[in-house]
Amino acid sequence: MEGKNAVILLSGGLDSATVLAIATADGFRCHALSFRYGQRHEEEITAAVELARAHGVVEHVVIDIDLAQFGGSALTAEMEVPKHSDVREIGQGIPVTYVPARNTIFLSFGLAFAETRNADHIFIGVNALDYSGYPDCRPEFIEAFQKVAQLGTRAGQEGPGGVHIEAPLINMDKAEIIRRGRELGVDYRMTRSCYDPVGQLACGHCDACLLRKKGFDGNGLQDPIAYA
Amino acid sequence: MEGKNAVILLSGGLDSATVLAIATADGFRCHALSFRYGQRHEEEITAAVELARAHGVVEHVVIDIDLAQFGGSALTAEMEVPKHSDVREIGQGIPVTYVPARNTIFLSFGLAFAETRNADHIFIGVNALDYSGYPDCRPEFIEAFQKVAQLGTRAGQEGPGGVHIEAPLINMDKAEIIRRGRELGVDYRMTRSCYDPVGQLACGHCDACLLRKKGFDGNGLQDPIAYA
C-alpha cells in the first residue's frame, strides 16, 4: 500500500483520530477532510487541525457546509442535548443528536476529494457497537454507500481499482478502539468528543462523553481530557 | 399525493425545471434546493430562483458548497470546456465536465433537507438517454443511492414510508422532456443549460447546448433562449 493516497474523514473525535493513525500505519498518504457544518462544538475543528499536523498528513481541507440552514438536529439547531449520569441510560432508537444525512454528506464530499487526489480509499471512523443508534454508522449503510461510490464516480467506473470505503472500527467497541489507538501512538488529549462542551471542557454527561469514558474505563485508564 | 412534501433538486436547467413542473402537477408541496458550488455558470442560480417563484414552491434554499476547493472538473477549475459543432461529436466515456461526485453530494443534501421537512420524495432531473456520459446520471446509480437513503436516515429507518428518489426523466430523451414540460406550462426561456456562457448568452457548442438544441429540434421548435 506504500504511497497510495487515502482520504480520512477527520472530525477531531476519538474514533477518527484512531482511524487516521491506522491509515498512516498502513502506509497511506493521508488527505484529511473535516467539516464546519454548524455544529455547536467547533472545538472539534481545532482538534482536527492539531491531529492532522501531529500525524503528518499530506494536506488537510476543512469544508464549510451550512447544515444549520436546514435545522432539525440538537447538534445544529436550538435543541437540548440529552444528558445522563450513566452509559446504560443511553436510549434505544435514533437520538435527537442525529444530524440528518450527515455521514452521507461527509462521505459524498470524501468521494469528490478522493477523485481529485487519485485516492482509492476513504477512511471513516464509524463504529456499530458503542454508538448511540445513528443509522448512518451501521455496516449495511457503509455497504450501500460503497455501491454508490463505485457506480457514481469516474474513479469507480473507469479507475483501475475503484473506490473503497474503509471503516476499520466498525466492529470494535470503544475500549478496543482506544487500545488500538494507543498502540499506534494516538495522543487522546488532542481529541474532542463532547456534544455540548462547557467552554473548553467536556460536559461528561452527553452520549458521546459517556461512551468515551466507558472506553477508557474498559482499559483501566483515566480519560486524559478535562471535564466540567 | 395531495399536500405531500417533496424536495426538488433545481439547477436552473431544462431538466430540473421540467421535474419541478412534474412534481407540482403531481400535487406535491415543493421545497426547491439549489447549489452554488463554484460552477462557472452562476446564471443557473438566477434561473433557479426565477423558476422556483414561477412554479410557486413552498420554499427555495440555495446551499453554498465550495467544490472549487477540490478542483478537478472543467466546470469548477480552470480547464477548457469542450466545444463541438454537432451533437454527434459528443465523445463517449466520461467528459472533463464531470464534476467529481456532484450528484451524490446534491442528493445527500437533498436527503438532509427532506428529513427536516418531512418530505418522503426527492426529485432529481437526471436522464440517461440524452446525457453526456456522467456515471451519476444512470439508473443503477439512482438505485444505489435509494438504498443509502433508506439505510442511512431516520426517515428511512423509522419513518412510515421511507425516502424515495424520483427520477421521472431517466428514460426520456431531450425531445420528450421538452414535450412534457411544455404540456405542463414550463417556460423554457427561464432555463439555462450552457456550461460556458458568453455573458448572458449560451455558447451553443458545449455538450449541454448541443443536447438542448437537439431536444427543441426534435419537436420542430426553436430554443427560446439567446445564443452567442
SS (H, E, C) chain A: CCCCEEEEECCCCHHHHHHHHHHHHCCCEEEEEEEECCCCCCHHHHHHHHHHHHCCCCEEEEEECCHHHCCCCCCCCCCCCCCCCCHHHCCCCCCCCCCCCHHHHHHHHHHHHHHHCCEEEEECCCCCCCCCCCHHHCHHHHHHHHHHHHHCCHHHHHCCCCCEEECCCCCCCHHHHHHHHHHCCCCHHHCCCCCCCECCEECCCCHHHHHHHHHHHHCCCCCCCCEC
Sequence-distant (≥ 6) Cβ neighbours of residue B49 within 8 angstroms: B34, B60, B62
Q: Residue A154: list chain B partners with CB under 8 A.
A: 94, 98, 100, 135
Strand A59-64 relative to strand B5-9, pairing: unpaired
Q: Is B48 helix (H, G, I), strand (E, B) or coil?
A: helix
Does the CB of B115 have a partner CB in chain A at under 8 Å? Answer: yes
Q: Residue A69: list chain B partners with CB under 8 A.
A: 61, 63
Counted domains in chain A: 1
Residue A9 is which amino acid?
Answer: L
CB contact under 8 A, A152 and B141: yes
A56 belongs to a structural domain: yes
Farthest-apart Cα atoms in chain B, separation: 52
Best to test chain B binding among A96, A116, A142 (most B CBs inside 10 Å): A116
Cell numbers at residue A197, please? 462542551
A46 belongs to a structural domain: yes
Best to test chain A binding among B105, B108, B124 (most A CBs inside 10 Å): B108
A224 belongs to a structural domain: no
Min Cα distance A217 → chain B (Å) is 30
- Give the Cα separation of B142 and A173 in Å (integer): 33
Q: Are B81 and B198 in contact (CB under 8 A)?
A: no
Residue B14 is which amino acid?
Answer: L
Q: Are B171 and B130 in contact (CB under 8 A)?
A: no
Dihedral sign from CA coordinates of A125, A128, A131, A134: positive
- Give the Cα separation of A94 and B58 in Å (integer): 28
* Nearest residue in B to A61, CA atom: B69
Taking residues B143-154, what's their average pLDDT? 93
CA torsion, ordered B192, B145, B166, B93, to nearest 10 deg: 50
Which pLDDT band, with edges at 50, 70 and 90, does B94 fall under?
Answer: confident
Q: Provide the mean pLDDT of chain B.
A: 89
Q: Is B64 helix (H, G, I), strand (E, B) or coil?
A: strand
Min Cα distance A189 → chain B (Å) is 30
**150-189 in chain A: CB under 8 A from chain B:** 150-154, 156-158
Most confident of A196-205, B19-28, B123-132: B19-28
Residue A53 is which amino acid?
Answer: R
CB contact under 8 A, A93 and B156: no
CATH number at residue B42: 3.40.50.620
B138 belongs to a structural domain: yes
CB contact under 8 A, A105 and B109: yes
A59 belongs to a structural domain: yes
Which pLDDT band, with edges at 50, 70 and 90, does B72 fall under?
Answer: low
pLDDT of B177 over the 80 cut: yes
Structural domain span for residue B135:
5-79+98-188
- Give the Cα separation of B173 and B178 in Å (integer): 9
Direct distance between the N- and C-terminal alpha carbons of chain B, in angstroms, rounded to an integer: 43
**b/e per residue B207-224 (b: at least 16 CB within 10 A):** bbbbbbbbbbebeeeebe
A223 belongs to a structural domain: no
Q: Are A57 and A50 in contact (CB under 8 A)?
A: no
Q: Are B153 and A136 in contact (CB under 8 A)?
A: yes
Does the CB of B133 have a partner CB in chain A at under 8 Å? Answer: no
CB contact under 8 A, A61 and B72: no
CA torsion, ordered B85, B89, B94, B100, to nearest 10 deg: 10
Q: Residue B64: list chain A partners with CB under 8 A.
A: 64, 66
pLDDT of residue A1: 44
Cell numbers at residue B224, please? 427560446
A228 belongs to a structural domain: no
Q: Taking the CA of residue A128 as centre, how many other CA atoms within 13 Å lie in the half-sphere pointing to its CB?
A: 13
Q: Is B78 helix (H, G, I), strand (E, B) or coil?
A: coil
CB contacts < 8 A, A to B, total 145
CB contact under 8 A, A152 and B103: yes
Indicate the residue of B64, B104, B151 with minimum beta-carbon distance to A144: B151
Farthest-apart Cα atoms in chain A, separation: 52
Q: Are B191 and B225 in contact (CB under 8 A)?
A: yes
A226 belongs to a structural domain: no
Indicate the residue of A64, A100, A152 with minimum beta-carbon distance to B153: A100
Q: Give the number of other CB atoms < 10 A from CB of residue A59.
A: 12
CB contact under 8 A, B116 and A70: yes
**7-36 in chain A: CB under 8 A from chain B:** none
Min Cα distance B153 → chain A (Å) is 6
What tens-digit pLDDT sequence spans chain A (228 residues)?
A: 457 999 999 999 999 999 999 999 999 999 999 998 876 667 889 999 999 999 999 999 999 887 777 766 655 666 677 888 887 777 777 777 778 889 999 999 999 999 989 999 999 999 888 776 888 889 999 999 999 999 988 888 887 778 999 999 999 999 999 999 999 999 999 999 998 888 889 999 998 999 999 999 999 999 999 999
pLDDT of residue B79: 66
Best to test chain B binding among A99, A137, A153, A165 (most B CBs inside 10 Å): A153
